[in-house]
Structure 1
Amino acid sequence: MAENRAIAPHAIPQPCWDSWKPPPSSVYKLNFDATVFFDLDRTGFGVVIRNDKGDVMAVMSAKGPSVFCSEEAELLACRMVIEFATDASFSEFIVEGDNSIVMQAISSPNADESLMGNVVGDIQQMLRGLHWVNVEFTRSGGNKVAHVLA
């Protein structure tokens, strides 16, 4: 079964993109983002799932809890959107986000000992349960739709 799964190694695959690039045929791309509203004491999460033709298959926009930093918001968003994607029966996709620290953390084979390590572990466990997944970093230009949704 491991041969059907492609979880990214410790290093983030390069190159990263300035604009959205389609996934390979029969694979979906899940772009997510989080926005922190410190003055409102909450966060916003956004996700768009598209196919290889760029057709939107699913979108979500949700309110999130108060957080201490943007990395915490991005990790919580990532966990929420992977749950959303799996609940919607997507099992082969690329997870793409614009926070390099978060993308490195969830693709690392090492245990995360940070305060958010339990969330990183949750995400990694969910990813291991998928048929095929890859974790990629994109610059904000490749994540515009998810950013607007957040």
Structure 2
Amino acid sequence: MKYFSLVAIIFALITSSFIWMPNEEKTEGIQFESLTFEEALKKAKKEDKLIFLDAYAVWCGPCKMLDRTTFKNKEVGDVFNENFINLKIDMEKGEGPAIARKYQVRAYPTMFLINANGKVEKRILGFVKDEQLLSEVENFID
């Protein structure tokens, strides 16, 4: 019985320490906003920025690799968070299928720079490393 009590106490201490650990996931990289596409268009117009749209699918391996690498890069995050309205939409759920049809998404990942009127300014297909992504958008940075 003492052994069971000791194990229960240790388990409680270990699990409670995880609850109080700060979430450092948001400290670096691109901060994607929780907005609908229409809300993003309005915000883009108000702030005079382009929308960076990551059109992805949950089953897409290269999409997951972008999330783990390129989108977590500090330099990429600094540039994108300052210059764009960052939006990430699953093209197979919610408003995603309509957006996929409108912008003719044929492969994943597809990334877009879209102006406040909904016009595509730039389309980027497939996995890209941080330097390449920054190079792709450099002409659109203030």
Q: Normalising by the residue count of structure 1, what TM-score does the alignment of the two structures yield?
A: 0.28
Which structure's relative contact order is higher, taking Cα pairs within 8 Å and 6+ residues apart? 1
More strand, by proportion: 1
- Greater radius of gyration (CA): 2
